[in-house]
Amino acid sequence: MNVYETGGTRPTALLAGPPSDAHTWNLLYLQLLMTELGWQVSNLGPCTPVRLLVAESARCAPDLVVISTVNGHGYHEGLTLIRSLRREAHLRDTPIVVGGKLGIDGPDDGSRLKRLRDAGYDDVFDGDGQVPRFQVLLDSLRHHARRQASPAPAVR
């Protein structure tokens, strides 16, 4: 399919807007940012159907799935989405994060974020100023992926 794929070496990430979210600039920005930080990014674009996200993640076994949403349905739709994704065997242990503007009334007191985490997101980035924290996560995942990818040391 004709997605914006950018080259590079591992680790790999799938990036997508949830089914009802038509915004693109957030996805383009994250794609560029992650590419610059050494990730290979497959940007599925806005309004990604759940089945496409499931199929693409089975195909490329990403080290990270990033859901970015700013239309205000992120909290409600994000819960449905993560439940669907976590039902898939190949996505049970994949790091999946969600971020953007998640509610229609601005960031909340934290209870909705807790529910999103409890439902299966590894991390939640709500509202402005979250990029540095997202970068920290990317760094730690990249080191983790690199360790896993390197050959096991000889034990004898």
Partner 1 sequence: MATATGPSPAVGPSFHTFISDARRDRRLVVQPRMGFSDTGAMTAGLRATRAARATTVGTITVDSYTRTGELGAVERALRDGVALNGYPLASIDPGVTRTMLGEVGHPSFPVQVRHGSAAPTKIFEALLEAGLDATEGGPVSYCLPYSRRPLHLAVAEWAHCCRRLAARREDGANPHLESFGGCMLGQLCPPGLLIAITVLEALFFRQHGIRSVSVSFAQQTNHRQDLEGVQALRALCAELLTDVDWHVVVYAYMGVYPRTPRGAREILRAAARLAHGGGAARLIVKTTAEAHRIPTIGENVEALELAAAAAADVTPQAVPDSGIRDEARQLIHAVLSMDADVGRALVSAFARGYLDVPYCIHPDNHAATTTSMDADGWLRWADVGSLPLTPDAVSSPPLLTSAGLLRALSHVQRSYDGA
Interface with partner 1 (CB under 8 A): 1-4, 19-22, 24-25, 27-29, 32-33, 36, 43, 45-49, 52, 71-73, 76-77, 80, 101, 103-106
Length, in residues, of the chain: 156
Question: Nearer Cβ to partner 1, position 10 or 72?
Answer: 72
E-strand stretches of 17-152:
40-43, 64-69, 96-100, 123-126
CB of 88 to partner 1, least distance (A): 20
Question: Nearer Cβ to partner 1, position 34 or 96?
Answer: 34
DSSP structural state of residue 17 = -
Q: Nearest CA to 33 among 144, 132, 146, 99?
A: 132
Coil, helix or strand for 115? helix
Question: Nearer Cβ to partner 1, position 12 or 71?
Answer: 71
Question: Nearer Cβ to partner 1, position 6 or 94?
Answer: 6
CB of 39 to partner 1, least distance (A): 12
In the chain, the amino acid numbered 76 is: H
